[in-house]
Amino acid sequence: MKALLLVDIQNGFCPGGNLPVPDGDKIVPIANALIDNGGYDLIVASQDWHPADHGSFASRHAGKKPFEMGELSGKPQVLWPDHCVQETADADFHPDLNVQAFDYVQQKGENAAVDSYSAFRDNDHLATTGLGEYLQRQGVTDLDVCGLATDYCVSFSVLDAMEMLPGVKVRFIEDASRGIDPEGIRNAISLMRAKGAGIVNSTDILSD
């Protein structure tokens, strides 16, 4: 069972959104090509789905600005602009993304007291989202991951997939992802590779 996980391809992370990833919208045609012609048995997507009072928002911390370091539940926390708030257009999937093909959507980041980059669990590793259990029930043996942003939600999801889905072959699709910080992107890819993830491009998959 071969699955594709699309991480947070939402308006909020694309140009015009509240927390845009550079060229985030450029991955949408690639994601659609993978959906249509990648040979996947299962298409799943994660969706950042924050309450309006989420503790990772700089607006919840007096005197703090977005991208400064702060604290959340006693731990260091990058403070973000308000983004992907539940039931807002910012949280919607990109309008050109083929959402009709999705078999399952996993919402995340709903607990205001902890951030949740990974599609599989919160950053404190105390609560899982349910995605891992779903993929195990479906009998997934191969999981390809792409989306936004490489150096945060995508790499966290890849690393958690390798840890939480024993025996599943996990690959990161580099050209179907975009990141925020060039150095952070390089470090994330190096770490994913070091942990055993395959690093591929969509052309490797679509030419199979």
Q: Looking at residue 19, what DSSP letter applies?
A: S
Two structure tokens written together for 22: 């550079």
Q: What letter represents residue 182's amino acid?
A: P
Among candidate residues 119, 103, 97, 100, the one with its CA nearest the CA of residue 33: 97
Dihedral sign for Cα atoms in the order 141, 9, 134, 72: positive
Q: What letter represents residue 43's amino acid?
A: I
- Of 48, 82, 153, 160, the catalytic one is 153
Residue 153 annotated to the active site: yes
How far is residue 129's CA from residue 115's CA, in Å, rounded to a whole number? 12
CB atoms within 10 A of CB 36: 12
HSE, CB side, 13 Å, CA atoms: give it for residue 31.
Answer: 31
Among candidate residues 118, 126, 181, the one with its CA nearest the CA of residue 155: 118
- Of 8, 82, 90, 122, the catalytic one is 8
- Of 108, 115, 144, 151, the catalytic one is 108
Residue 26 annotated to the active site: no
Among candidate residues 43, 51, 48, 40, the one with its CA nearest the CA of residue 12: 48
Residue 146 annotated to the active site: no
Instruction: Note the residue count of the chain.
Output: 208
How far is residue 40's CA from residue 37's CA, in Å, rounded to a whole number? 8
Catalytic residues: 8, 108, 153
